[in-house]
Amino acid sequence: MLIRHAPNIAPSEITDYQLYLNRRSFLIGMAALALTPITSTAVAAPPAGTPLPARRSEQFTLEDPLTSIENITTYNNFWEFGPNKDDPARLAHLLKPRPWTVQIDGLVARPRRYDIEELLRLFPMEERVYRLRCVEGWSMVIPWIGYPLASLIKRLEPTSKARFVEFTSLLDSAQFPGQRKSLFSVSSLDWPYVEGLRLDEALHPLTLLTFGLYGQVLPNQDGAPVRIVVPWKYGFKSAKAIVRIRFVSEQLKTTWEKAAPSEYGFYSNVNPTVDHPRWSQATERRIGEFRRRKTLMFNGYAEQVAALYAGMDLRRNF
Amino acid sequence: MSRRACISLKSVVWGIALSPLLLLLYRFLTNGLGANPISYATNLLGDTTLRLLLASLALTPLRILLGISWQMSLRRLLGLFAFFYACLHFTVWIAVDHFFEWGELIPDIVKRPYITVGMLALTLLTPLAVTSTSGMAKRLGGRNWRQLHRLVYLIGLLGVLHYLWLVKKGVNDPYLYAAILAVLLGIRLWDWARREGWLGRPAWFRGGYSPARAADDMRGD
Ligand code: HEM
């Protein structure tokens, strides 16, 4: 089934995110009256499917038919849950996206810690339809909801020494079974998951700080409660379940770079002319389609981002 | 084993060996192959090939360890099913995944080590499948036939290597298959060294002899 637009879910059917927030603060208020010391662990996460209102962006949209929400929420690479495509959907209930804070530090004028609710309300939400190209050779078209990461970064005022941004995902093997070590884990990633962008990439208007998709808050298996989306890079560059954003002066080593330096570079821009050492990147299978299609340079965003890499050898800086 | 027992044993193995294919057909007909049906089919068929290959390699170790030999009659069946699934796995890759785009397929066979070793494994399996009949075994002569069919050890290694080389870091299944293969080949090696008289024979082991093995041993002693 091809769905052209995010469905309009009647507000009467599901609790609106604002309503959910109001009701929650009411409940917390009541609880505060009843029990004097109230811990933040009393905060409940918005139930799956809670609507997240957003204005549809005319500028950042695509003609491509959307991938179904079912496929977007059942076919995931999220190694923290496990390496199989169905592990994230199966184990998503273990992740608790509330309470949640994001630590901002490093080379920044205003280091601080944001509560997720505050971060959500910092800037108006936009819905943007982006292509997502996985390094494994499949792709999707997803209506994300969020605001430009640049808006947040400008408010934080990185210092003149800041040249890279590091994103750290949650480390907690109780919520992320893929982080558990067992007798049989011969091969595993270095946790927590760390990703990075050059500051100008992070400031690019396409880079989205993302809180939802398909009109709803992010499902846990898609990186709740907050992730980035960098549509011209392979999917693994878009860090999920972010707990820390740090500004640094030197290029950092990302998780996949540490795991296999010859296979995953820092840039990892979608590039049909530079193969992964073990498979070709010339074509991809769009989920929901039968025949492979040609992969586009920078995942079809060359016009917007090619200038970032002017003069660079993309074969060496893969 | 009685003829009746033999037939029911083989029917059970047919049922088990065909079940992944039936599962695939059922999921295909009920739209249950998930978001990426082609990848699902490729992986299910590849997994089944490797499992059947290892199952066929497990029969001799059972004889060595337990002294039972009724399972030996399943060797040909399991081997042929492994070949059958390898062919399906390969066909899906060519015909469904890449839709006969030879410009993509040929470079992959040459350039991608995991495809190269998979291809080599399938190529080596073919003569074993062709010579699996009793008639062919007779025509080749027992000794030649046995030597030719020792290729299956190499095929097992190539199958595991194929899997090890295609997965990303953090996937542990190939190591499990590698460990199983190491055990199955290790038992043979140990048995061989023991028969060559390089190892002492532990007392607890005495019970586990097959008549054929006992005859071998008498000659050895
Ligand atoms: C005896 C021969 C073979 C065995 C035992 C075998 C086994 C396997 C196994 C176990 C997998 C992984 C399944 C999983 O991830 O769950 C696999 C995947 C795969 N095999 Fe094979 N295979 C064989 C031959 C071949 C041949 C001849 C080709 C093609 C020329 C091939 C191409 C592939 C491909 C494309 C994948 C999927 C890789 C991916 O998911 O990206 N295999 N095979």
- Which pLDDT band, with edges at 50, 70 and 90, does B157 fall under? very high
For the cut 90, the answer to whether the pLDDT of residue A134 exceeds it is: yes
What ipTM describes this predicted complex? 0.84
- Which pLDDT band, with edges at 50, 70 and 90, does A37 fall under? very low
CA atoms within 13 A on the CB side of A275: 10
- Which pLDDT band, with edges at 50, 70 and 90, does B216 fall under? low
Chain B residue nearest residue A83, CA to CA: B171
* Phi, psi (degrees; rounded to nearest 5) at A130: -125, 155
For the cut 60, the answer to whether the pLDDT of residue B220 exceeds it is: no
User: Quick one: pLDDT at residue A184?
Assistant: 77
Q: Reading across the β-sheet that carries A164-169, which strands appear in turn?
A: A112-115, A101-106, A242-248, A164-169, A194-198
Residue A315 lies in a domain: no
- Which pLDDT band, with edges at 50, 70 and 90, does B213 fall under? low
Beta bridge partners of A104: A112, A245
- Which pLDDT band, with edges at 50, 70 and 90, does A236 fall under? very high
User: Quick one: pLDDT at residue A8?
Assistant: 45
d(CA B16, CA B10): 10
User: Quick one: pLDDT at residue A43?
Assistant: 75
Dihedral class, residue A214 (left if φ above 0, else alpha if ψ from -120 to 50, else beta): left
Residue B8: CB partners within 8 Å, gap ≥ 6? none
Q: Where are the alpha helices (DSSP H) in chain A?
A: 17-34, 69-74, 87-91, 116-120, 149-156, 199-202, 255-259, 302-305
Structure tokens that stand for A15 in this block: 């609790």
Average pLDDT, integer, range A19-23: 59
Average pLDDT, integer, range A210-217: 98
User: Quick one: pLDDT at residue A6?
Assistant: 46
For the cut 50, the answer to whether the pLDDT of residue A71 exceeds it is: yes
Q: CA–CA distance from B149 to each of A156, B10, B79, B144, B218 (Å)?
A: 69, 21, 10, 9, 26
For the cut 80, the answer to whether the pLDDT of residue A20 exceeds it is: no
Report the percentage of chain B scoring pLDDT > 70. Answer: 90
User: Quick one: pLDDT at residue B132?
Assistant: 95
Residue A21 lies in a domain: yes
For the cut 50, the answer to whether the pLDDT of residue A13 exceeds it is: no
Distance of CA B78 to the CA centre of its chain: 7
Average pLDDT, integer, range A268-285: 95
**b vs e for A69-86, b when ≥16 Cβ sit within 10 Å of the residue's Cβ?**
bebbbbbbbbbbbbbebe
Does the beta carbon of B89 lie inside 6 Å of ligand 1? yes
Look at residue A108 and give its three-state secondary structure.
strand
Average pLDDT, integer, range A240-252: 98
Does the beta carbon of B41 lie inside 6 Å of ligand 1? no
d(CA A133, CA A284): 8
Residue A292 lies in a domain: yes
For the cut 50, the answer to whether the pLDDT of residue A32 exceeds it is: no
User: Quick one: pLDDT at residue A183?
Assistant: 76
For the cut 80, the answer to whether the pLDDT of residue B60 exceeds it is: yes
Interface test with A, best of B112, B169, B172 (most A CBs within 10 A): B169
Domains in chain A, number = 1
Q: Report the mean per-residue pLDDT for chain A.
A: 90
CA atoms within 13 A on the CB side of A216: 23
Q: At what angle do helices B75-91 and B37-57 cross, to 10 degrees?
A: 160
Residue A269 lies in a domain: yes
* Tens-place pLDDT, residues B115-128: 999 999 999 999 99
Contact A278 B171 (CB under 8 A): no
Q: Which amino acid is at A280?
A: S
d(CA B180, CA A10): 55
* Tens-place pLDDT, residues A136-146: 999 999 999 99
Contact B169 A187 (CB under 8 A): yes
Structure tokens that stand for A243 in this block: 């707990």
Give the distance from residue A81's alpha carbon to the nearest chain B alpha carbon, in angstroms.
11
- Which pLDDT band, with edges at 50, 70 and 90, does B197 fall under? confident
Whichever domain contains A241, its CATH number is 3.90.420.10
Q: Where are the alpha helices (DSSP H) in A157-309?
A: 199-202, 255-259, 302-305
- Which pLDDT band, with edges at 50, 70 and 90, does A7 fall under? very low
Lowest mean pLDDT among A117-121, B2-6, B60-64: B2-6
Contact A291 B99 (CB under 8 A): yes
Range of the domain at A22: 11-309
**Selected residues 238-267 of chain A with any CB under 8 Å from a CB in chain B:** 256, 259-260
Residue in A74, A85, A187 closest to B175 by CB: A187
Beta bridge partners of A197: A165
For the cut 50, the answer to whether the pLDDT of residue B114 exceeds it is: yes
* Tens-place pLDDT, residues A248-258: 999 999 999 99
Residue A307 is given by DSSP the state: G
User: Quick one: pLDDT at residue B199?
Assistant: 79
Say yes or no: A71 contacts chain B, CB-CB below 8 A: yes
Q: Do B167 and B150 touch, CB atoms closer than 8 A?
A: no
For the cut 90, the answer to whether the pLDDT of residue B212 exceeds it is: no
For the cut 90, the answer to whether the pLDDT of residue B205 exceeds it is: no
- Which pLDDT band, with edges at 50, 70 and 90, does A9 fall under? very low
Dihedral class, residue A49 (left if φ above 0, else alpha if ψ from -120 to 50, else beta): left
Residue A318 lies in a domain: no
For the cut 70, the answer to whether the pLDDT of residue A34 exceeds it is: no
Ligand 1 centroid, distance to B211 Cα (angstroms): 39
d(CA A115, CA A242): 12
**b vs e for A272-287, b when ≥16 Cβ sit within 10 Å of the residue's Cβ?**
beeebebbbbbebbbb
Look at residue A105 and give its three-state secondary structure.
strand
Distance of CA B181 to the CA centre of its chain: 10
Kind of pairing between the strands at A126-133 and A55-56? parallel
d(CA A1, CA A67): 9
Residue A4 lies in a domain: no
Lowest mean pLDDT among A76-80, A181-185, A257-261, B128-132: A181-185
Does the beta carbon of B122 lie inside 6 Å of ligand 1? yes
User: Quick one: pLDDT at residue B204?
Assistant: 59
3-class secondary structure for chain B? CCHHHHHHHHHHHHHHHHHHHHHHHHHHHCCCCCCCHHHHHHHHHHHHHHHHHHHHHCHHHHHHHHCCCHHHHHHHHHHHHHHHHHHHHHHHHHHHHCCCCHHHHHHHHHHCHHHHHHHHHHHHHHHHHHCCCHHHHHHHCHHHHHHHHCHHHHHHHHHHHHHHHHCCCCCCHHHHHHHHHHHHHHHHHHHHHHHCCCCCCCHHHCCCCCHHHHHHHHHHC
Chain A residue nearest residue B170, CA to CA: A188
User: Quick one: pLDDT at residue A182?
Assistant: 80
Average pLDDT, integer, range A78-93: 97
Chain A residue nearest residue B176, CA to CA: A184
For the cut 50, the answer to whether the pLDDT of residue A38 exceeds it is: no
For the cut 60, the answer to whether the pLDDT of residue A28 exceeds it is: no
User: Quick one: pLDDT at residue A12?
Assistant: 38
User: Quick one: pLDDT at residue B170?
Assistant: 92
User: Quick one: pLDDT at residue A11?
Assistant: 37
Dihedral class, residue A137 (left if φ above 0, else alpha if ψ from -120 to 50, else beta): left
d(CA A260, CA A255): 9
